[in-house]
Structure 1
Amino acid sequence: MKRAPLPPEAATAAARPGASASGPATRAPRVPGTFLAVYALVYVGFWIANQAPLVITLAVRVDALVPEADRAATLGLILGVGAFVGLITNPVAGRLSDRTTAKWGQRRPWILVGATGTLGGAAVMAFAADVPTLLGGYFLTSVFVNILGAMLIAMIADQIPERQRGVASGVAGITLPIGLVGGSFLVQVLAPDIVLMFLVPGSLAFFLVLPFLFTLRDKRLEKSDRPPFGMRDLVRTFYVSPRQHRDFSWAFTSRFLVQLAAAFVTTYLAYYLIDHLGASAESAPSLVFQGLLALSIATMVAAPLGGKLSDLLRRRKIFVLLAAVIFGIAFFMLASGSTVPAFLVAMAVAGVGYGAYNAVDLALVTDVLPDPEDTAKDLGVFNMAATLPQTLAPVLAPIILAIGDGSYGVLYTVGGVLGLLGAIAILPVRKTR
């Protein structure tokens, strides 16, 4: 069976002694800084389009469509559907792109589809006159933004050599806080024009993708080299054998635990400030912004620094372990803190741990992927470790709070334990240092 041709540079590198067999990216030459800059720009657009509805615009639209008594339930339903859709779409889109034989490449057609569909879904939400239409618009947005996200995360394995994956993962890691803060600022500027509040973030996801599409040297797969794909393969899209691929499974477990802890922070931060610190309902939004800003700034510093150091020292595990420990310590600081300055310091510490963890953990998992021919699918499965906690946190947190007699100190102590367990879970990984 004839293999898909590599770009000339990659083919040359593949012939060198010592070339890795873990996938095309490990045989490629170093990528220039311009590629990483364009890649980061696309990722920022992705996060703005992804986070703006999640954090602000959906709540505003729901508030205008339903009575006050129904707002929480309606918003929860819409967000729950979106989280479930993302859980399914990410690995499926990855699996299909791994088998795409288009002349334009394996990922590029899907990137265009994802960006175009994201803008289309935003338009449906912008003009929705009732809840079913708004739900349908968010359903479409969730499908297409997750297609785009699956392709972007696959770029680490496709395009980046192993010795640069820490840097590339660090670059990807700083785009979430930039997108979160930038999207929040953008929506505030556009308010109260609800149409622009939806369309502008969606448009950024589309237009920022265009330079990347025309500069990307995408992989190509020949039709003769495409594996068969049936219903059984579709079902197996969501499964990686823990027994056969233990390193990948331990990395998945670690990320799941850390992301579950993170979901407790983002979901219940306002209630923590009111009930634990005694903040007023009027001051809570401002304090939430200050806390997220402290976390974001620390993340933007820690992510590229951790990624760069892991590349220079050629070590992944120790950075992931220490980052998860720091993240867990931040939760214990939140649980025991009783003042706003202590809260802001704890959020900054959480940003250091979270930024370094996300950057180096992504680099680590690309080094232990189960199948070099299914990189996007496997990374889609890995990304479920980040999306599942978003669905589980609203279910688990009320149970923990009930056991702890409503104490958010207890909830955040559990988050700290989860962070430490996430650190321990990375220890059994053997394939990478």
Structure 2
Amino acid sequence: MLASFGASIAMMVPLSYGIAVRISELAPGHEEVLGYITGTAQLIYLLISPMVGIWSDRMRSGLGRRTPFIFLGTGIGLAGLVVMGLAPDLLIVGAGWVLGMAGWSISGAAIQNLMADKLPDQQRGRVSALTSLMTQIAPVLGIGVAYAVSSNTLLVFVVPGLIGAVLLALLPIIKPEGSSKDIALTSRVTAKSVVASYGFNIRKYPDFAWNWLGRFVFFIGLYFNTTFGTFFYAQRLDLPVREVAGVVATIGMLGVVAAAAGALLGGFLSDKLKRRRLFVMIAALLFAGGALVEASAWSLPQLIIGAVLMQSAIAVFATVDQAIIFAILPNRNETGRYMAVVAFAQKIPSAVAPLIASLVITIGATGAQKNYTLLYLAGAVLALLGGAVIALKVKAVR
């Protein structure tokens, strides 16, 4: 839980606040650049993630298969945050986020791989719930930390990164993974196997394929409705971008209770009832409802209601769908590889959705007023569609 919190706070504070601050400093009025920076970084990590997964599966060391990647990702992520905080122009900010995105994603993936390696089926829902809860709380508290040091741009990036690094390091120190030196390698890595690792046999693993598709569509809707959060709140509340951190933190703190309830209820109840797909559909409906509220919101109370609904929905979906994934992995000897393929269903949307969203907000826009109403409505439809695909088509899990 602490390690998940650390990876999330280090990644989400720059993504949800820090990059927007740098854009407002270096290129005010060009908020569409946020989509280009985040989309590009996600696309680059997307291309390297299967190779990282293969490397993780084949890692033989005294620290284990996953632990070296916790440390590797943390080092790369910290370096990226320092670059972003000191960057003199947006090109360097973008380069820094390529490092930051890759580093913290590698650390987060290592934690998920550990969970897939070690968790028994009857604990997958509840542990997914607890780690999901941490990823919900971390950005909210992280925004508060960033706001407290907002007078110093470098600290906005570095302080959450250092908190993340310490918490990530605690996991292998307190609970060592164990040596992987004696684990036999089942196959050789060839150019063909590397290329093949970017995909899987859809006909052989239909449940995995349908879950991947539903997750993909849901996350496009999610990123439509979260990427421009800082600019969205600034427009709807008529506030300067730098002052939005307090609003984001306040809304986030109120949403934490709903997210906690969603994650814990979804995880624990899905374990107890042995039903996962029902909760995925509930999450999609909640998210769509929250997005509709946000689309029409021009006051703080409305924004709070919409955000609370969406945060609770994201928590339920992330918790239960992760438990589904752990149950339907095609090959547990290649957990890292297949978890990287699963990550495509989130990383491709996080790369593509901001780029598309940057265009959507300009449709029918008047002057500096971007069309966030259309963006949030589109996100609602996509999230609902993604949940329906998983609920109706994944058959191996109830």
* TM-score interval, normalised by the smaller of the two chains: 0.7 to 0.9
Deviations along 1:185-243, one digit per CA (max 9) or x if unpaired, are 11222232333333222222222122211213347264643421111122122212222
- In structure 2, do the counterparts of structure 1 residues 245 and 222 end up closer, same or farther at CA, with 3 Å as the change threshold? same
Structure 1 Cα separation of the partners of residues 82 and 234 of structure 2: 35
What SS does the aligned partner of 1:266 have?
coil
Equivalent pair of 1:94/1:376 in contact (CA under 8 Å): yes
Equivalent pair of 2:42/2:98 in contact (CA under 8 Å): no
Query: Residue in 2 aligned with 1:418?
Result: 382
Structure 1 Cα separation of the partners of residues 227 and 34 of structure 2: 13
Cα deviation for residue 126 of structure 1 reads 3.7
Equivalent pair of 1:90/1:150 in contact (CA under 8 Å): no
Equivalent pair of 1:89/1:147 in contact (CA under 8 Å): no
Match of 2:219 among 259, 271, 284: 259
Is 1:50 aligned with 2:8?
no
* Counterparts of residues 189-208 of structure 1 (less than 5 Å): 189-208=148-167
Match of 1:348 among 293, 296, 308: 308
> What letter is aligned with 1:346?
G
Structure 1 Cα separation of the partners of residues 48 and 280 of structure 2: 27
> What letter is aligned with 1:151?
A
What SS does the aligned partner of 2:225 have?
helix
Equivalent pair of 2:141/2:249 in contact (CA under 8 Å): no
Match of 2:238 among 267, 280, 284: 280
Structure 2 Cα separation of the partners of residues 153 and 300 of structure 1: 19
Structure 2 Cα separation of the partners of residues 237 and 332 of structure 1: 38
Equivalent pair of 2:74/2:165 in contact (CA under 8 Å): yes
Structure 2 Cα separation of the partners of residues 336 and 134 of structure 1: 33
Cα deviation for residue 378 of structure 1 reads 0.9
Deviations along 1:279-336, one digit per CA (max 9) or x if unpaired, are 4245982554444343333112211221011111222111112222222232233345
Structure 1 Cα separation of the partners of residues 237 and 119 of structure 2: 46
Query: Residue in 1 aligned with 2:341?
Result: 381
Gaps of 5+ in 2: none
* Counterparts of residues 100-115 of structure 1 (less than 5 Å): 100-115=59-74
Deviations along 1:362-415, one digit per CA (max 9) or x if unpaired, are 011110011111112111111221222222223333555567787544433322
Q: How many residues align?
A: 390
- TM-score normalised by L of structure 2: 0.87
Name whichever of 371-380 and 264-273 sits farther off.
264-273
Is 1:179 aligned with 2:143?
no
Equivalent pair of 2:39/2:352 in contact (CA under 8 Å): no
- TM-score normalised by L of structure 1: 0.81
- In structure 2, do the counterparts of structure 1 residues 345 and 369 end up closer, same or farther at CA, with 3 Å as the change threshold? same
Query: Residue in 2 aligned with 1:322?
Result: 282
Is 1:151 aligned with 2:110?
yes
- In structure 2, do the counterparts of structure 1 residues 267 and 144 end up closer, same or farther at CA, with 3 Å as the change threshold? closer
Identity %: 28
* Counterparts of residues 26-65 of structure 1 (less than 5 Å): 40-64=1-25
Equivalent pair of 2:57/2:334 in contact (CA under 8 Å): yes
Query: Residue in 1 aligned with 2:265?
Result: 305
Is 1:168 aligned with 2:133?
no
Gaps of 5+ in 1: 1-39
- In structure 2, do the counterparts of structure 1 residues 348 and 76 end up closer, same or farther at CA, with 3 Å as the change threshold? closer
Structure 1 Cα separation of the partners of residues 91 and 302 of structure 2: 43
- In structure 2, do the counterparts of structure 1 residues 49 and 306 end up closer, same or farther at CA, with 3 Å as the change threshold? same
Structure 1 Cα separation of the partners of residues 161 and 271 of structure 2: 34
Structure 1 Cα separation of the partners of residues 11 and 297 of structure 2: 32
Equivalent pair of 2:62/2:178 in contact (CA under 8 Å): no
Query: Residue in 2 aligned with 1:430?
Result: 395
What SS does the aligned partner of 2:332 have?
coil
Name whichever of 375-384 and 283-292 sits farther off.
283-292
Name whichever of 185-194 and 283-292 sits farther off.
283-292
Structure 1 Cα separation of the partners of residues 356 and 33 of structure 2: 20
- In structure 2, do the counterparts of structure 1 residues 261 and 296 end up closer, same or farther at CA, with 3 Å as the change threshold? farther
Cα deviation for residue 155 of structure 1 reads 2.0
Match of 1:248 among 205, 208, 229: 208
Deviations along 1:36-74, one digit per CA (max 9) or x if unpaired, are xxxx1111111111112222333444555x4546x5466
RMSD: 2.8
Deviations along 1:145-164, one digit per CA (max 9) or x if unpaired, are 12111111112211211100
